[in-house]
Amino acid sequence: METTKNTKLYFGRPGSMYGLISLLIMLSLTVYQVIMSYCVLSQDSENFAELLIYFAVFIIAEWIYYFIFAIVQNRHISLEMIAFALSSISLFVTASVSPAKTKTQFVAIFAGLAVYIAMVLFMRSTTRTSALRMPMAIISIALLAFTLIFASYTNGAKNWIYIGSLSIQPSEFVKLAFIYVGAATLDKLQSSRSLTAYVFFSVGCVGLLGLMSDFGTALIYFATFLLIAFLRSGDIRTIVLVCTAAVIGVILILTMKSYILNRFASYRHIWEHMYDSGGYQQTRTLIYAASGGLFGVGIGNGYLREIFAATEDLIFGLVCEELGILTGFLIVICLAIVCLAAAYNAKFARSTFFTIAACAAAGMIIVQTALNVFGVTDFLPLTGVTLPFVSRGGSSMICSWGLLAFIKAADSRSYPEKPVSRLEGNRK
């Protein structure tokens, strides 16, 4: 059997420079995680044994993944290393602030990893990608409609389903279907027909989210729709028309539901509302994040952890306070690298589906990151969206790994060509 040239070109030999660099990164990441584990465990003797198991299993699982895919299969796992690094920060911060919720976050990380692997394997076959397009669209609309009918309002939005003590945010899972349906639809149809078909699906999703008062997520969906539509059609006039219609819709919503407008009344005026709900969270985030300096006050020693939603909506400020502004910037840089990888992989993708899906996933990550980081720092209105991979929340974590799967699937190195023997080559 002979290995094809493409496989050699993309993956190199086991002793390649990339292999050495990836090993050094893994070792450095493990050292950092061991130090973080020690810092968290030294402050919580009551949950010491349980947290130790979670941290140890997480680190061991990282190395098992590295051994299987980087050593045995000789593949590039740069994206996965970034995801593991960011997920570990989420795990450590959750364990430090809310030890009782560590198990849920731990399970969510590995559920996300399982979804990631399953999605990458499923998208190996380009013929399968369009088969589930319509069922996925129907299930997505039905799931959002179910949430609208049966969910109860939580923090002003009707977007959570509670099953006993377990809470699920369906709109996070629909994000994956939203990208999948859009990419699969626009990959097969002509521009005019594809835009028309996808517009109805997108309007349904965004409209249902608007009725739930989940405007942060609705904005992420809308921005992703614009990106997908432009990637396939390149028609600026159509995009402008859609944006105009969206602005009119927002004006109508704000006119009929004036209480929604009050949520944004403190935008750019948070210091005037620093003692009421209008600016309390953001002013504390800015104060405490700045007090952390470059290297932070140390995990477990911050004050922002006492503020509501510190590990979810305000996680960027909490990281800056306890782990340092440098760590906060590093998180943003890591997410930017993931998005740049999507742009690079899209150029060599096997079909339009993978190009659209990868760019849409990257766009969704960019918009969500911007809304979270700029929202807590008052550059944008606070919309209450999570920071990918870092914020506490099982639905958000699983969705983040799913978005990464679209980017990974666009990389032609994810699906190396099968070795071809001399005999098979001669027959051809």
pLDDT in tens, 54-90: 999 999 999 999 999 888 888 889 999 999 999 999 9
Question: What confidence category does residue 417 fall into, taking pLDDT thresholds of 50, 70 and 90?
Answer: low
* CA atoms of 4 and 153, how far apart (whole Å): 56
pLDDT at position 20: 83
Look at residue 239 in the predicted model and tell me its pLDDT. Answer: 67
Those residues whose C-beta lies under 8 Å from the C-beta of residue 9, and which sit 6 or more positions away, are none
- pLDDT confidence of 255, banded at 50, 70, 90? low
CA distance 55 to 52: 5
Residue 245 has pLDDT above 80, yes or no: no
Q: Is residue 123 part of a domain?
A: yes
3-state SS, the chain, equals CECCHHHHHHHCCCCCHHHHHHHHHHHHHHHHHHHHHHHHHCCCCCCHHHHHHHHHHHHHHHHHHHHHHHHHCCCCCHHHHHHHHHHHHHHHHHHHHCHHHHHHHHHHHHHHHHHHHHHHHHCCCCCCCCCCHHHHHHHHHHHHHHHHHHCEEECCEEEEEEECCEEECHHHHHHHHHHHHHHHHHHHCCHHHHHHHHHHHHHHHHHHHHHCCCHHHHHHHHHHHHHHHHHHHCCHHHHHHHHHHHHHHHHHHHHHCHHHHHHCCCCCCHHHHCCCCCCHHHHHHHHHHHHCCCCCCCCCCCCHHHCCCCCCCCHHHHHHHHCCHHHHHHHHHHHHHHHHHHHHHHHCCCCHHHHHHHHHHHHHHHHHHHHHHHHHCCCCCCCCCCCCCCCCCHHHHHHHHHHHHHHHHHCHHHCCCCCECHHHHHHC
260 occurs within a structural domain: yes
Residue whose structure tokens are 């045995």: 72
Domain of residue 415 covers 106-427
Inter-residue contact 404 to 341 (CB < 8 Å):
no
**Amino acid 75: pLDDT:** 82
Question: What pLDDT band is residue 254 in, cutting at 50, 70 and 90?
Answer: low
Count of structural domains, the chain: 1
97 falls within a domain: no
Q: What is the pLDDT of residue 189?
A: 57
pLDDT at residue number 14:
44
- Using the predicted structure, report yes or no on whether residue 365 has a pLDDT greater than 90: yes
For 28, the token pair is 């450095």
User: Which position has the higher pLDDT, 148 or 62?
Assistant: 62
Tokens representing residue 53 in the block: 């198991």
Looking at residue 366, its amino acid is I
Helix axes 394-410, 78-97, angle to 10 degrees: 170
Where is pLDDT greater, at 252 or 332? Answer: 332
The first and second tokens of residue 413, run together, are: 């190195």
Which residue has tokens 């699937």?
A: 409
Average pLDDT of 34-40?
Answer: 96
Residue entry with tokens 């349904």: 204
Task: Look at residue 384 in the predicted model and tell me its pLDDT.
Answer: 82
Least confident of 254-268, 331-345, 380-394: 254-268
Q: Which of 56-60, 181-185, 418-422 has the highest mean pLDDT?
A: 56-60
Least confident of 5-9, 213-217, 340-344, 357-361: 5-9
- Position with higher pLDDT, 348 vs 26: 26
- Does 54 reside within a domain? no
Residue 344 inside a domain? The answer is: yes
Side by side, the strands of the sheet bearing 157-163 are 152-154, 157-163, 166-168
Check pLDDT > 50 for residue 391. Answer: yes
Residue 181 counted as domain residue: yes
Question: Mean pLDDT of all residues in the chain?
Answer: 84
**Higher per-residue pLDDT: 305 or 277:** 305
Rounded to the nearest 5°, which phi and psi values hold at 235? -95, 105
Q: pLDDT at residue 268 above 90?
A: no
Beta bridge partners of 420: 2
Residue 189 belongs to some domain of the structure: yes
Is residue 41 a part of any domain in this protein? no
Which class for 190: exposed (0-12), middle (13-18), buried (19 or more C-beta within 10 A)?
exposed
Triad 226, 230, 235: Cα angle to 5°: 120
Residue 348 tokens read as: 């060599």
Q: Sorting pLDDT into bands at 50, 70 and 90, what band is 151?
A: confident
What's the pLDDT at 407? 95
Segment 182-192 mean pLDDT: 69
Confidence check: pLDDT of 108 > 60: yes
Q: Using CA atoms, how far apart are residues 85 and 58, in angstroms rounded to an integer?
A: 11
